[in-house]
């Protein structure tokens, strides 16, 4: 599952690929809890086990992809 985070005053996005089998609802809950505290930090662990922290005061948006096992390639990809 992919999570894309937009950072305020930065044109780039932060892409984090979470491990296979990650619970999408748990990720959404963690994001909501982190955004509820403007002085907090959103912690995510990517599929290689690296921890990524983003200060919630700097988050513009969070896009959580669907938990789909197949990847499309080519002209049929959305």
Per-residue pLDDT tens digits for 7-48? 999 888 999 999 888 889 999 999 999 999 989 999 999 999
Task: Report the candidate in 54, 57, 71, 68 with the shortest Cα–Cα distance to residue 5.
Answer: 54
The confidence score (pLDDT) of residue 57 equals 93
CA distance 64 to 24: 8
Query: Average pLDDT of 60-70?
Result: 77
Asked whether 27 and 34 are in contact (CB, 8 A), the reply is no
Higher pLDDT, 66 or 67: 66
Residue whose token pair is 């955004």: 35
The whole-model pTM stands at: 0.77
Task: Report the candidate in 69, 38, 57, 47 with the shortest Cα–Cα distance to residue 3.
Answer: 47
């Amino acid at each position: 599952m992919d999570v894309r985070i937009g950072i305020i005053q930065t044109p780039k996005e932060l892409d984090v690929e979470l491990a296979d089998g990650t619970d999408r609802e748990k990720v959404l809950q963690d994001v909501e809890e982190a955004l509820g505290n403007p002085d907090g930090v959103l912690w995510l662990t990517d599929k290689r086990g690296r921890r990524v922290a983003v200060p919630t005061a700097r988050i513009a948006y969070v896009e959580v992809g669907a938990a789909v096992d197949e990847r499309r390639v080519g002209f049929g990809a959305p």
